[in-house]
A and B are shown apart, each in its own frame.
Chain A
Amino acid sequence: MKRVYVNEKWCLGCHLCEYNCAFAQTGKEDMALALKGKQIHPNIRVEDGENIHFAVNCRHCDEPLCVKGCITGALSRDENGVITIDKEHCIHCYTCILSCPYGAIVPSEEGAIQKCELCIKTTQGTPRCVAGCPNNAIVFEER
């Protein structure tokens, strides 16, 4: 399946992906309108080191620990392999957050967990973090 991959060689640590992700979640048309004055909760986060930057998001594991550990079945793997969250069924137990080895799952403001769903619910085609990366550091491809 096509996944989002990050090549740290080209990641500039500009953090634009985080804002593009947060913007995608709002479903709004204008980024200024969507994010002005708001705290953002992106599903991709750039880890900054001294000379290295690396954006991290859900790996959509073939054997996802989060899905395995989810006690309500709110997390599931769809037919394409995308791990999605049904927020209605999430009871905020955060087992998934504890079990994710990448730290790619976080609680949302409302309490239910949130995670990268490869923009299948927000945009068509290329995930927004990929489309907005200025240096092709984030790619969406089959590997």
Chain B
Amino acid sequence: MGIAYIYPPYEVVRNKDRCIGCRVCERQCANEVHHYSEEAGCMMADESKCVNCHRCVSLCPTRALKIVKTDHTFKENANWSGKAIQEIYRQASTGGVLLSSMGNPEPYPIYFDKILLNASQVTNPSIDPLREPMETRVFLGKKPKQIKRDKNGNILPQNTPHLELSMPVMFSAMSYGSISYNAHESLARAARELGIYYNTGEGGLHEDFYQYGANTIVQVASGRFGVHSDYLDTAAAIEIKMGQGAKPGIGGHLPGTKIVGDVSRTRMIPEGSDAISPAPHHDIYSIEDLRQLVYSLKEATNYEKPVIVKIAAVHNVSAIASGIARSGADIIAIDGYRGGTGAAPTRIRDNVGIPIELALASVDKRLRDEGIRDDVSIVVGGSIRSSADVFKAIALGADCCYIGTASLLALGCHLCRSCHEGKCNWGIATQRPDLVKRLNPDIGSQRLVNMLTAWNHEIKEMMGGMGINSIESLKGNRLMLRGIGMTEKELEILGIKHAGE
């Protein structure tokens, strides 16, 4: 072991007056931080193993535990932060690429937090959602260009393939494998109860979950894991994953330790083999190739299902989105650089991509400028943290939002960002049976339903406050937004005025 270059970043603080020695912390920590010392007659902790996931803190019945950041420090240096130094130590000892999980945590601007909403005063009345209908139903997909009538002149409803949602939020792609069976079941059940959709990610669809097909979006990613005709037929929509906000430019990574049992069967790959999806789709090297895959999938499903193309928000996202809109896709999903992941190279996660707010604003504008905004719906994710973020995204021009991290938080995730280690104490990002069972889908699905029910109430309150009683009247309604503390350029890209204007 030699020299301990890395000092543990957290300290486990135990209030000895409150600890009753029940050892729940010990039993619940998959990282084996806690143990009972017969010799000392009390609980001890090895904080070097602690990932700060709060499982022990949350289960301690006497609230005897807390985790604090260590005050151990390097000599102050505005350039060489402790984090930068420790990363060097880590790489010097392993020779490996640094891995991280969940979204980019670095202190870049968060534009949602610099946008303020409007409300009605005097000249038009606000609407009370408790007393008047307040509508949040949305449709995703192409809008028909023309109306057709029968011989009596009645309109013939000839809907193009579309998704109908009770509210403008869906659970974003998280594969079975990256998250547990119980996490998937929680998402699927919540989606059905809420009248929205969840997304399989690129891990295939477990046979037990075919029953939720009407609320399922299945993903076709560069590894093509788990893709077969039943998989496509069962789904409500098919998503082609070109990229992901957390790691634009590279494919999904799932370590072999997570490819066990059902996960391997569902992915249709051998147990224990690393599932490293290719960086590009090897049948898509250009936009015309994408068109072929879009139409192959449509052909395979009888032109009955909308096809989503998901891309990471990168520098020329609006041109790419415009190309996708012309490639036959029905929905474009854009994932911002804060988007989460079960595992990504740290440098990529923290340095590649652009904020979703800016990407959304420029894509929506570009598609409108080109007159093709009705040809596609826009779904945005990475990261939507609250109903206010959803609201602002819709007003900037999105049709709907994807939530990944927020849904995991509802399931108990404490954002310790250690998913890639596979020892998730909350039973979410793990395949260890003893850990997976910690997430009871009865509880998990209910918590997801609760969260989105609350969000929907909040969305209705904000809509009512500005005198809007249907979500479609919010879509792209940028006059309802004002920026605060932004530059001219930022406001120009977002297409909004500054507060006070």
A and B touch in the complex (CB under 8 A): yes
Residues of A within 8 A of B (CB): 9-10, 12-16, 18-20, 23, 30-32, 35-38, 51, 132, 134-137
Q: List residues of B (14-66) whose CB comes within 8 Å of A's CBs.
A: 17-20, 22-24, 27-28, 59, 61-62, 64
Bound Cα distance from A82 to B318, whole angstroms: 68
Decide: B17 and A32 in contact? CB cutoff 8 A: yes
Decide: A136 and B442 in contact? CB cutoff 8 A: yes
Which chain A positions have C-beta within 8 A of B433?
51
List the count of A-B residue pairs having beta carbons below 8 Å apart: 59
Which chain B positions have C-beta within 8 A of A12?
27-28, 434, 437-438
Given contacts A20-B61, A32-B18, A136-B443, contact A51 B24 (CB under 8 A): no
Which chain B positions have C-beta within 8 A of A14?
24, 27-28, 59
B70 at interface (Cβ–Cβ under 8 A)?
A: no
Which chain B positions have C-beta within 8 A of A13?
27
Decide: B434 and A51 in contact? CB cutoff 8 A: yes
Question: Looking at chain B, what size class is its interface with the partner chain?
Answer: 20 to 34
Prevailing SS type, chain B contact patch: loop
Determine which of B17, B18, B24, B438 lies in contact with A15 in the assembled complex, contact meaning CB atoms within 8 Å: B24
Q: List residues of B (430-466) whose CB comes within 8 Å of A's CBs.
A: 433-434, 437-438, 440, 442-443
Given contacts A15-B23, A15-B24, contact A32 B440 (CB under 8 A): no
Determine which of B20, B434, B443 lies in contact with A19 in the assembled complex, contact meaning CB atoms within 8 Å: B20
Q: Closest B-chain residue to A10, C-beta based?
A: B440
Which of B62, B64, B434 has most chain A Cβ within 10 Å? B62
Determine which of B20, B437, B438 lies in contact with A32 in the assembled complex, contact meaning CB atoms within 8 Å: B20
Q: What is the minimal beta-carbon distance from A48 to any residue of chain B, in angstroms?
A: 9
Given contacts A14-B27, A32-B20, A36-B20, contact A19 B61 (CB under 8 A): yes
Decide: B20 and A135 in contact? CB cutoff 8 A: no
Decide: A35 and B20 in contact? CB cutoff 8 A: yes
20 contacts between A and B (CB under 8 A): A10-B440, A12-B27, A12-B437, A13-B27, A15-B24, A16-B59, A19-B22, A31-B20, A31-B61, A32-B17, A32-B18, A35-B22, A36-B17, A36-B18, A36-B20, A38-B20, A51-B434, A135-B437, A135-B438, A136-B442
Bound Cα distance from A13 to B27, whole angstroms: 8
Which chain A positions have C-beta within 8 A of B17?
32, 36
